[in-house]
Structure 1
Amino acid sequence: MQIIIIGGGAAGFFAAITCAQTYPDTRVTLIEAGKHPLAKVKISGGGRCNVTHSCFEPTQLVQYYPRGNKALRGAFSRFQPQDTVNWYAERGVKLKTEADGRMFPTTDDSDTIVQCLLAAATAAGVKIWTGEAVAEISPQQPSGWSVALKSGAILSADRVLLATGSNPSAYKWAQQLGHPIATPVPSLFTFNIPDSRLANLAGVSVKSATVKLAGAGKNALTQTGALLVTHWGVSGPAVLKLSAWGARLLAEARYQTTLIIDWLPDYRPDKLRELILSVKSQLPQKTIQNSCPVPIPHRLWESLTSHIGIQSTDRWAGLANKTLDRLIGELNRGEYQITGKGVFKEEFVTCGGVDLKSVNFQTMESKICPGLYFAGEILDIDGVTGGFNFQSAWTTGYLAGLAMGNV
């Protein structure tokens, strides 16, 4: 049986290796348009490669996927992060778990993962073609597939896997073959916020802040976590998660909307008022800007108090009730205008892709075109940051590889 896998990323390689190892008599050819396969693996995690996440319960794991969580529930029961850890361990690559649950190779070098996958593919007999772009795929009669390369060559295959990531051409092929496509838009990005309150605070971070997109109505999009002020706005886990869950809404708003920041999610307004009044009573002659009573960086406190009109010489004794109200509002529900999206290092994730209802998640085979399979980011699946996107690539690639060689 001849299998052609289009796309030399994480999902494509995992599918190729699984298929070739499970069915040694099957001929597996992997076609990658770029000169270097696994390019995204190479640059991921700042060059360390965040392979997966230490969440080993499928029902909990799916909660990290804004899109695809229902479809992945069964898939993760068959191949989940513990299986990923075991797979790499069997090939001599040990993973370590960091405090936030992210898992990396102990070498802290993504090339360890790249070389492992290349070696496993070679050992399994996978033919790897690089620098070969696919022009078109089409079903043959009475069965099988024709894969036309831009070089002019035409290949035949019994089964084809599309593991092309967010390649527009692949979306077009899938759509022409009858698969609905959820419009691809970016996910996992930072927010551009030109605001005087943040202008000189690049590098300042808060361990826990709550960020919310205004205008989301009953389905208010809110995330809590670490927040980092950057030269262009805000970043950090809370922002990245919010960008993932709000990817579609933010795209529709053309990345022009209001972000509400609660710098002190553990301090409700009444508790915050009580604390500040206590400080006012106990330290009346202290200057407000020099005596921050709440757990936020001092530079941030200075900026927020200055923004509402508190001068560097103003003392607690002179804090008026109206100013107190404004201070509490600034700390608990400050409004910031998002004017665009930034990037998250070199990592890019797409919300959208092949509609999951058109795919059998037992096998990753199309329900519309027998012999056509999908894996990885071409599907309308995306996770938050932390190794979850790679895990869905390993899982869907594994399931596709297991099914494609089965006669």
Structure 2
Amino acid sequence: MRGKKQLSVLTIAATYTGTVVGAGFASGQEVLQFFGYFGLRGILGLVLTTVLLAFFGYLILDLGRKLQANSHLPVVRYAGGKWAGTAVDWIITLFLFGSLVTMSAGAGAIFKEQLGLPFWLGSLVMIVISLATVLTGIAGVVTSISFVVPLLLVAVFAITLYTLTADYSALASALRTYFNPGKAPAPFWPLTALLYASYNLVLSAAILAPLGSMSGPRQIKAGALLGGAGLGVGAAAIDLVLLAHINRAANFEIPMLHVAGTISPLARIGYTMVLLAEIYTTAVSSLYGFVARMGKQGTAKYRWITLGAGAAAFGLAQFGFSNLVGTLFPAVGFAGFLLLGSLVYGFIKDRKVKPAVEAREAVLARQPTPAMAFEVAEELAGEGKDGNESN
């Protein structure tokens, strides 16, 4: 890392947050299904998820730093070995495509619910502009994400503040009485917390691994903690808002837009624009990540894979946004347990191997090899010769 400019703690935290905070998060549908349906118990799930995101995010960043990784592949191969690492690599790659499908469906839901236009038109528009961006090689996706995420968080916290003041009694009632686990992806809140952390880490590993190679150990630790805390607080804010409007919000594909509409038409329009921008940045980064893993940029194969992925994503998006969130994300979450297990194994392995390596290096430093002794003797003889000549 010498000579390299290291990323700041805030940059690491913001990038981590921006990777996880996609359209599913911003729409409220993820938080509703994984936490909202559990009422007060969902808050406990959010606490568990926050700890998991901070801890495993740190592990990925730290391995990326130690391995100087340019992608997620060296990290998952080191942590899980050849076979498990290869499996995790394909899980990440396929989920990038699944994320593109979900973003296309999210755009369709917004067009239908908020603009009164056909669902398929919203999906098509999002796919077309995503294809255009990736095919023309326009850079700056990360920059656009870092620009959109603060706007999203400001909008979420503003709606939360309004809800806590205007709808406090409804929120208090929901926290006391609401509990509907039958509509959640899994019937137990600790399991949904694990699933939520798992599939988000699968998606974010592709960004966190190379991010770690540009960071120092102190920045990584603080950035992971801050990023995990920010994600937990943001999800908790959305959860509280949805619980205050749970009886009606649960009936919408994009529940946060319904809540924004209860404040004012202007608030709904503003949140719609922020959400569409979030969907676009997530769709582009997902499509690029998938295609770049499958083919080299600038080749005919790359272009054909891009077009084929876009067409397939458009077709699958017609399955519906909430249906995709409720089926695809939990499935990837279960598959992602392999990633979490690999990271824990890699962490334990690293803790055991590192002291042994350091001890071996210390012994070698105290006990020079014959070759090292010969070199030192030659240097001393040369110095003595020079000293005699000078005399």
Shorter-chain TM band = under 0.3
TM-score (norm 2): 0.24
TM-score by length of 1: 0.23
Task: Name the structure with the higher helix share.
Answer: 2
Bigger relative contact order (CA 8 A; separation at least 6): 2
